[in-house]
Amino acid sequence: MRNHLLGLTLVGILFSHPVLSDTRQTDTQPTVAQTVNRQSLDNLSLNANQLNRQDIHEQAQRWGLTEIEWQRYLDIKQHERSFWSPNLDPLTTLGVEAKTEAERRHYAELLAKKEYERVEKELAFQRAYDQAFQRLYPNQLPFEVEPHISQATGRIYYFTRLDNCEKCETDISRILSYANNKTPVDIYIVGSSGNDDAIRAWATKHRIDPVKVKARQITLNHDSGYWLMNANGKMPVAFQTQGDGQWKLLAY
């Protein structure tokens, strides 16, 4: 009888305390949710890398560069150039940091083509703008930019700025005195950003004759890249065409 009671007691103890299973192995195994989350993170990382690679490819292609060249441009920007010239375009950046003369010529050619494309697009828009302005405001002082600068012999092309150029303030009277009433003068305003009102104010301030403007003896124009291509950084500066259509730096 005592043995029987002892057996019941042991059974009761076993059933009143659940059997502890070995969880050490299951603790080290990821759950289904953990596995899904990890795969999602891996997929996000992969997609981000793919998008970054695609962006690099597209950016490089826009400038006629390879992905390796674009990456070098990004690397250069992280060093001295980030202080010296942080807004320098990719082609100029690579050109000034070129390691060989061949590299320098290569990037100079790419930049020349890129600048030509830019100027052509700006001139096309300027022509459309001029036509619209003439249609909407036919009696206003004309501001026209020709598709290409006229090659008429003797014509003067004068480049100046509206601001940040102390010499420009006094130089305009000298060039107009030099031209007098005999030589047509095309005045190109550099950095005017399409601001016709500012050019009108400038023309009034410097007493540009509206009669001569309407007769195209004097033309007032937004510069769209001619100064950059021809003036070698000089400001103000004037050129005059010769019999062969070539520009000659003008001393006046």
Strand (E) or helix (H) holding 36? helix 32-62
Average pLDDT of the chain is 76
- Whether the per-residue pLDDT at 166 is higher than 70: the answer is yes
C-beta separation of 189 from 202 below 8 A? yes
Strand (E) or helix (H) holding 248? strand 247-249
Encode pLDDT of 35-88 as tens digits.
545 655 554 454 455 557 788 888 899 999 999 999 999 999 888 878 887 778
* Strands annotated E in the chain: 156-161, 185-190, 218-222, 237-241, 247-249
pLDDT at 23: 46
Encode pLDDT of 173-216 as tens digits.
999 988 887 889 999 999 877 788 888 889 988 888 888 888 88
* Strands annotated E in 123-246: 156-161, 185-190, 218-222, 237-241
Report which of residues 84 and 219 the model is more confident about: 219
Going along the chain from its start, the domains and CATH numbers come out as 60-140 (no CATH), 141-249 (3.40.30.10)
What does the block give as tokens for 106? 């290569």
Could you tell me the pTM of the whole model? 0.42
Count of positions (residues) in the chain: 252
Closest by Cα among 215, 68, 57 to 141: 215
